[in-house]
Amino acid sequence: MNSLAKNTKKFRLNKGLTQEMLALRAGVTRGYISLVESGKKEPTISTLYKIADVLGVGVNEFFEGDPNTSRFLHVKNGELNTPIKKNPSSIYSYKPLAASIRNKMIDPFILRVDPGEQKPGPEYAHRGEEFNLVLKGKVKFTYGDKEFILEKGDATYLDSSVVHTVTALDQRPAFLLCITAGR
């Protein structure tokens, strides 16, 4: 069982919630939560944020093993190349950058956006604020009913409770540094 599965169950039990209660509050089915906790399904980023919100934890805490008691973390450049936690039905994959730091105020991660349209699913919005910096590629960033074309070096800062999506352009994957805060 992976750390996402183990930690989801651990956080749920620590909150005194049943799978049904967590599912209801996160807007998914009990069966979905069961699949996540058994390691048979990995939620989309937006669903993971909803589950984290219900459980009162940061998204990166799902991927932690033993907590890092230091408030300093060094991530080597080579560790950034391959985002993880790919959901097969999603164009998004991500790599948490500070997964071992507990009780942090921000959640930084690298987001890889593959070319293509996101398959229908829940709209992507979560509490807090978000900063995104395009590291590589060209993307269409949709925020509410507005669309922006962003290229390497362009950035956004937004109220993440507004529905937002990112689509890779030019038939190549795009990479963004994303930092979320304030759940």
At 126-153, the pLDDT tens digits run: 888 999 999 999 999 999 999 999 999 9
Is this model's pTM higher than 0.85 or not? no
Say which residue, 58 or 139, is predicted with more confidence.
139
Closest CA to 51 of 69, 76, 34, 66: 34
Say which residues have a Cβ less than 8 Å from residue 64's Cβ, sequence separation at least 6.
3, 7, 99, 100, 102
Closest CA to 167 of 127, 103, 116: 116
Tens digit of each residue's pLDDT (9 = 90 or more) over 10-27: 999 988 999 999 999 999
Residue 71: burial class (beta carbons within 10 Å; 0-12, 13-18, 19+)? exposed
Beta bridge partners, 27, equal none
Which listed CATH number (1.10.150.120, 3.40.50.300, 2.60.120.10, 1.10.10.10) goes with 77-181?
2.60.120.10
Homologous superfamily, domain 3-63: lambda repressor-like DNA-binding domains (1.10.260.40)
Closest CA to 7 of 55, 73, 41: 55
**Average pLDDT estimate for 39-63:** 83
Where residue 3 falls among pLDDT bands split at 50, 70, 90?
Answer: confident
